Structure 1
Amino acid sequence: MSKFSERLTNLREGKGWSKTYVAKTIGLSSMQTYANWEYGRTEPDFENVSRLADLFNVTTDYLLGHKQPKNKITIQQAMDTIMSADGKEPTEHDRKIMESIIKAYLDNRE
């Protein structure tokens, strides 16, 4: 099994998603196409690698076998984590405040 196939399988299983769910979510008409990627029988084109990376919230480099950069998160990832912590939807005002704080924090870390 290739590093790509292994990571794809681990990411999907880690989310508790079915192959069918992933295939439909990235716009494939056949679950078998996706399954073949996990089994290492075929490989996706660049566009589908990008769709998979977006879906699993990882880089294309990671999917292709490179190490995931440490401590590199996007503002959106941080916002999603904060918002899911208490299960309440923040107001637009709260979102703007959180986004500015997170952006300032991330800018100062680089």
Structure 2
Amino acid sequence: MIGQTIRDLRKQRKMSQTELAKILHVSQQTVTAWETGKAEPSSSAISSLADYFNVTTDYLLGRPEKKDDDAKTADIEDDDVIFTYEGRRIPKEDLELIRRIMRGTRNDIK
């Protein structure tokens, strides 16, 4: 699976295996082995591939995006919740402005 992903990313960039090999400091035969499934890239090669193609290592490995079950949510209408930004409390006037923007009613913004 990772081999197909590497191949697809390489082809999107219109690169040859030789060009990719030079960038990653491996042989063209190594890239071929990865793409055909005859070998698996090392963890450092996976990291280099992710950096070069600007993707996550999870994407390369074919892992689905994981939902953050620990994400905290709060209703902006809840006056009992203290909202902060960069460690500072958001003033009530600014929260009201945020509420109006979120509702799409910006015509009364000063």
Band the TM-score falls in, shorter-chain normalisation: 0.5 to 0.7
2:29 pairs with 28, 32, 36, which one?
Answer: 32
| Structure 1 equivalent of residue 9 of structure 2 | 11
| Structure 1 equivalent of residue 48 of structure 2 | 51
Residues of 1 paired with 2:23 and 2:65: CA distance?
23
Q: Which runs of 4+ in 1 moved over 2 A?
A: none
Number of residue-to-residue matches in the alignment: 66
| Unaligned ranges ≥5, structure 1 | 70-110
Relative distance call for 1:66 and 1:23 in structure 2 (3 A) is same
Residues of 2 paired with 1:68 and 1:42: CA distance?
25
TM-score, with length taken from structure 1: 0.57
Larger Rg: 2
How much does 1:4 deviate? Answer: 0.7
Residues of 2 paired with 1:40 and 1:54: CA distance?
21
Relative distance call for 1:9 and 1:60 in structure 2 (3 A) is same
1:1-110 to 2 correspondences below 5 Å: 3-28=1-26, 30-67=27-64
How much does 1:5 deviate? Answer: 1.1
Question: Is 1:4–1:63's contact at 8 Å kept on the other side of the alignment?
Answer: yes
TM-score, with length taken from structure 2: 0.57
| Unaligned ranges ≥5, structure 2 | 67-110
Residues of 2 paired with 1:14 and 1:67: CA distance?
21
1:52 maps to a residue whose letter is L
* RMSD of equivalent CA atoms: 1.4
How much does 1:67 deviate? Answer: 3.5
The structure with the largest helix share of the pair is: 1
% identity of equivalent residues: 42
